[in-house]
Structure 1
Amino acid sequence: MKAVGSMVLALGLLGAATLPSLASAAQVVAGVTFDDRCEVAGQSLVLNGAGLRTKLILKVYAVALYLPGRDRNPGAVLAQPGPKSIHITMLRDVRGRDLSEALVKGMVANLSPRELVALQSRLDDLHATLMSAGDAKKGDVIQLDYLPGSGAHIVLGGQPLGKDIPGEDFYQGLLKIWIGEKVSDKDLKADLLGLSSR
C-alpha cells in the first residue's frame, strides 16, 4: 500500500513538473524560435500563438503574438488590458515601402470609416516611421509593442523607431492586421489565436 502511495505521489509530481512546459512552450516557425514569454513594460507576457506569413509561395516573415493571458477569441484579445506585443522576424528582404504599405493596407481593411477618420494621422505616422527604417532585411526583428499610457512602440533590431504612436485604439487597429475580420491570411490568424490544427 505504501509502495502504491509512493508511486501515485511520484506520478503526481511528474505531472506537475511537465504541466508548465505543455502549457507554455516555445514555438518554432520556419526556423525562427519564439520564446514562451517576453517582457513588455515590466510585465511578463505569454506566447498566444505564432505563424508564417506567405505571399503566393514566398515566405515573407514569421510572427508571434504575446498577451497578458492566452485567448482564442479575437474580440477578447483586442479588449485585453495591459501591454501586448507582436514579434516579426523577416525571412526575406522586403523594400521598406512595400512593408509599410502592406501593414497600412491591412489595417485600413479592418477599420470602419469612422475609425479610419480618427486614426488617419496616426496611420501616416506609422507609415513615416516604417519608411524611416529603410528596407527590411532577412533576419531583421521588428517588435510592435503596446505600452499603456504611451501607445504603440516600434522597435527594429532592439532600437526604437520614431516616437510612440498614442492610443489603445491605434494598437487594436494594428492587431486587426492579423486577427481582424478581413485578414489577408486566415491560416495565420488561426495560428496566432492558437486555433490551428496544423
Structure 2
Amino acid sequence: MMPVCAAATIELGGVKLEDTIQVQGMPLVLNGAGIRYKAMFKVYTAGLYLEKKASTMNGVLSMPGRKRMTITMLRDIDSAELGKLFSRGMEDNMDRSAFSRLIPGVMRMSDVFTRHKWLRTGESFVLDWVPGTGTVLTVKGVIEGEPFREPEFFDALMRIWLGPRPADWRLKDELLGIPAR
C-alpha cells in the first residue's frame, strides 16, 4: 500500500500556511509568504496563492484565474487604522485617476474594517479574486457583503504588497518567492 501524502505546510510567526489550497474547486499553490514588520514589530503573516507561480507583480496581475491573499494578525490591530493603511497603500501604488475610479470600493472596504473595530492576534482576513465574480473579502471567516466586481480593485489591493512602493520590501520579495538577498 502506498503512503498517503499530506499537504505540506510552512509556519511563519506561528501561522501555518498550506502549500496548496482550493478556491471554489480550483487548486492554488502558495506563491510566497512572509511577515509584515512595522519597525521591529511583527504585524501579520501574509500568503499569496496563485494557479501557478509568478515572480513579478505584472506576472501576478496578468495571470488569469483565481488568486488569494491571506492575512493573519500577529498582534492586535485597530481595524479602522488597517483600512486607512490599505487605502493609502493602494493610492501610493497607482496613478491618481485610476485610484479615483476605485473610491467607492475603497470606502466600502474601509467601512467593513471599521465595523470590525479590532483584528486580534490570530484572526485573519482573506482576499479572493474569482473570475466572473470579483474580489471576495472574508473577515474572521465570514464573507463581507457583495464581491467587488472590478478586476482593477483586486489589482490595486495586490499593489499594496507587490507594487513599486510596497508596504514592506522584504515581504514583497517573499510573496513573489524571491530568495532573500
**Same-fold status (TM-score > 0.5):** yes
Tell me which moved more, 112-121 or 45-54. Answer: 112-121
Match of 1:37 among 20, 29, 36: 20
Give identity over the alignment, percent.
32
| Greater per-residue helix proportion | 1
Distance 1:103 1:38 in 2: 25
Distance 1:104 1:162 in 2: 19
What do you get for the CA RMSD once the two structures are aligned?
Answer: 1.9
Distance 1:77 1:167 in 2: 16
Aligned counterpart, 2:153: 170
Question: Displacement, 1:51?
Answer: 0.2
Dislocated runs of 4+, deviation >4 Å: none
Per the alignment, in what secondary structure is the counterpart of residue 102 of structure 2?
A: helix
Question: Displacement, 1:184?
Answer: 2.5
Per the alignment, in what secondary structure is the counterpart of residue 75 of structure 2?
A: coil
Which runs of 5 or more residues in structure 1 are unaligned?
A: 1-19
Aligned counterpart, 2:143: 160
| Equivalent residue letter for 1:77 | V
TM alignment of 1:16-55, pairs within 5 A: 25-55=8-38
TM alignment of 1:20-169, pairs within 5 A: 25-169=8-152
Distance 2:120 2:108 in 1: 22
Report if the CA contact (8 A) 2:90-2:99 is conserved. Answer: no
Report if the CA contact (8 A) 1:152-1:170 is conserved. Answer: yes
Distance 1:151 1:132 in 2: 22
Q: Which of these two proteins has the greater Rg computed from alpha carbons?
A: 1
Equivalences, count: 178
Question: Displacement, 1:25?
Answer: 4.8
Question: Displacement, 1:180?
Answer: 0.6
